[in-house]
Amino acid sequence: MAENLKYAALLLVLVIVQKTLVWLIAVTSYEVTPDIVLVGLAYVGIKRGKIDGSIAGFLSGLLLDLFSFSFIGLMALSKSAAGFLSGFFNNENKIERYLSSYGFVLIVFFCSIVNNIFYFTIYFQGTNLVFSDVLLRYILPTAVYTSIISIIPVIFARKKIRRL
């Protein structure tokens, strides 16, 4: 129970930072920001599994939806799918290896691709943009930027392992 509260607090802090400070590191010419909530969500999914990853994704996505005031439930759907995908990497023999290696960056990349496909294809439904435009302008740049940001927790995990 205490562990679940720790993960909930982590995701709540990440949601608040996502909505208040992440614009400071946005690539403004392309309107691309990293999704730091997704990095935390991948961590939760790897540590706790598919069900907990999906629940954490739904709740953090719903909070993001409530803070953004548009398409209530869309971010909850996309984050649930990403949390479920990250839960596939829950293997008690490999958790620490995933979290302290650059495999975590790849996991975040794939989760980000799934998250962004769900989100942007529904968000841009009914516009003149075709899927290839959405893929090249929104899905891939956001996934790459989020993956680059996910290197930071890998560095901290490696330092923690070296101290032990």
Residues 82 and 45: their CA atoms lie apart, in Å, by 9
Q: Is the dihedral of CA 116, 119, 122, 127 positive or negative?
A: negative
Residues 136 and 134: their CA atoms lie apart, in Å, by 6
% helix / strand / coil in the chain, to the nearest 5?
Answer: 75, 0, 20
The mean-pLDDT minimum among 27-31, 92-96, 99-103 falls in 27-31
Burial group, residue 137, by CB count within 10 angstroms (0-12, 13-18, 19+): middle
- For 5, other C-beta atoms within 10 Å of its C-beta total 9
Q: Which residue has the higher pLDDT, 56 or 159?
A: 56
Residue 163's pLDDT band (boundaries 50, 70, 90)? low
pLDDT reading at 121 higher than 90:
yes
Beta bridge partners of 32: 27
Residues 35 and 75: their CA atoms lie apart, in Å, by 12
Specify the pLDDT at position 96.
Answer: 84
Specify the pLDDT at position 122.
Answer: 94
For the packed helices 50-68 and 36-48, what is the interaxial angle rounded to 10 degrees? 160
Tokens, residue 116 = 């962004």
Mean pLDDT, rounded, of the chain: 92
Specify the pLDDT at position 111.
Answer: 97
Contacts of 163 (CB under 8 A, 6+ apart): none
Q: No. of H helices and E strands in the chain?
A: 9, 0
Residue 28's pLDDT band (boundaries 50, 70, 90)? confident
The pTM is what? 0.92
